[in-house]
Amino acid sequence: MPGSSLYPLLDRVTTPKDLRALPESALPTVAEELRTFLINTVSQKGGHFAAGLGTVELTVALHYVFETPEDRLVWDVGHQAYPHKVLTGRGDQLATIKQKDGLAPFPTRTESPYDTFGVGHSSTSVSAALGMALADRLQGGHRAHVAIIGDGAMTAGLAFEALNHAGSLDANLLVVLNDNDMSISENVGALSNYFARVLAGRLYQGIREGGKRVLRRIPAAWEFARRSEEHLKGMVLPGTMFEEMGLNYIGPVDGHDVIGLVRTLKLIKQAKGPQFLHVVTKKGKGYAPAEADPIKWHGPGPFDAAKGEIRKELPSGPTYTQVFGQWLCDEADRDPAIVAVTPAMREGSGLVEYSKRFPSRYYDVGIAEQHAVTLAAGMACEGLKPVVAIYSSFLQRGYDQLIHDVALQNLPVTFAIDRAGLVGGDGATHQGMFDLSYLRCIPNLTVMVPADENECRQMLHTAVQLGTPTAVRYPRGTGPGAEIVQQLSNLSVGQGLVVREGGSGLAILAIGTMVALLAPIAEELDATLVNLRFAKPLDRDLIVYTAERHRRIVTAEENVLQGGVGAAILEVLSDAGLSRPVLRLGIPDQFIEHGSRNDNLVAAGLDSATMRARIHAFHRFQSPSA
């Protein structure tokens, strides 16, 4: 970070080693400067915000006590890791976060040795840190391993699977629960901090472990002592569940008392076996607008830090997310069997209005994608019409349930898949670029892909009428601006649409966003343009009919080429015994990193200029006159 009178202490911290060189008494000032730096920097370009403000003191304390990067810090999700990036030498690049060639939005192993595990989806930290701890033990090491997990991530089964396993081992693992929900804030204060220090201290640990060794020889006395300890803790502390799982529970402690955190962590660092530290923080801490509305300020765009106003560009029309939200309310008005399920994506999936109008038919299950899918399957068994609103990249986490619990039983669950295709700033962990491939191989499942806003609305309506498993996948942001017809009608399943007839011998078979992007190119080349609409079932008759009347075929999709729609069209042509030159446009076999959506399209070769050049070259090369 360049020198600045705003941050006299923080400017001296380019690595955690610099932080550890400071006296303990300087840490509150470092935390104050770090919080100010986050507010001033994130306000310029936007990014994840409120969660990071809540972990400032915790991050300072962790890097002060533990010898990072030799000791391993594993962050969960990454929303809370902006302070970590600053303290590990990346503060001068923070304004580039989520931009092309800038800092990654989440911890990324290739970016820094301090990012020990790449994250983007939640609830992975305990499993990863435990794996590192076991590897260290096998290799004769003595590192500390710390998983920092947010309370939202504790709603996922994966976190509890890992905790259950950790409790049965003697690995050197500390799990820090960053509880920013304030659900037990009344327990935070002098008394609870006192208990935390006592439970982490050497005297208590020595008595506890020594007593276990003696009492285990006397089964009745051991069981009595074990139960007595649990009951004593249970009367004053909310950690009995974690104790039952085999972790030594400590807390809750004030997550904004950096000195208290340091002293507690120093004591815990000396303890052996799995430890669980419960830290209570306030999301948005230190910035009044974010404290008042942490959801709004979770990931704002650029904002006026002084006024607390987020600068928002007015969209040219409704987003696909808004189209979905309006359709769902309209459908629920007509059909009392409609219910909505989402894994903690109410705002992102466009369910705010629905949740207010139909609270008894709305279920936010937390960050638990597997449960969301099977919950919907259970509802469908009893005659309801569940709509699961979920991001494409998050549906990957419920894939077994999609196959086993929904499709195998042919249950009428509709999947409204948002953020399909390339999503921009959130980068590789959130790109929705695999769903057409992983969905089209599943029996009983219908997969629709709208080319515009109105088609999206009509497809969603069609989906809930089918009485079978159905997915409608649509992109982030706005569409091409089609007029939305309020009247709902059912589409013919598996039927594509010829957008224009051409006479050049070239046919473009496109799906989803590619239809509008390729329409001008089809005009230039007098090519036939087909909107496939259905990834499954494909309109085989239309594909064969088109191939028989054209010498060259282009396929286009915003999905990976492996196993996608282009591959499916090749299968159709092969089955029909047709041999045609085919140019497949889609996402290549690589992860697409963060940047703007246009940056992502360029990286994938799906921007208009690249596709135009490739199609023109393909057309010229294959032309008889060439």
**Residue 283 annotated in active site:** yes
**Residue 580 annotated in active site:** no
Q: Which of 331, 369, 453, 557 is catalytic?
A: 369
- List, as one string, the DSSP characters of 280-333: E--TTTT-HHHHH-TTTTSS--SEETTTTEE--PPPSS-BHHHHHHHHHHHHHH
Q: Please, what sign has the CA dihedral across residues 574, 576, 577, 580?
A: negative
In this structure, what DSSP letter does residue 498 have?
E
Say whether 390 sits in a helix, a strand or coil.
strand
Residue with tokens 């005659």: 383
Q: Please, what sign has the CA dihedral across residues 249, 252, 258, 264?
A: negative
Strand partners, 339: 386
Q: Which of 233, 283, 285, 536 is catalytic?
A: 283
Strand partners, 555: 509, 584
Beta strands in 213-274 (DSSP E): 248-254
Contact between 596 and 458 (Cβ < 8 Å): no
Q: Which of 397, 440, 476, 552 is catalytic?
A: 397
Alpha helices in 491-592 (DSSP H): 513-525, 540-548, 565-575
Q: How far apart are CA 475 and CA 455, in angstroms?
A: 13
- Comparing CA positions, the residue from 420, 490, 498 lying closest to residue 458 is 490
Q: How far apart are CA 69 and CA 143, in angstroms?
A: 10
**Residue 217 annotated in active site:** no
Contact between 488 and 329 (Cβ < 8 Å): no
Which residues are marked as active site?
283, 369, 397
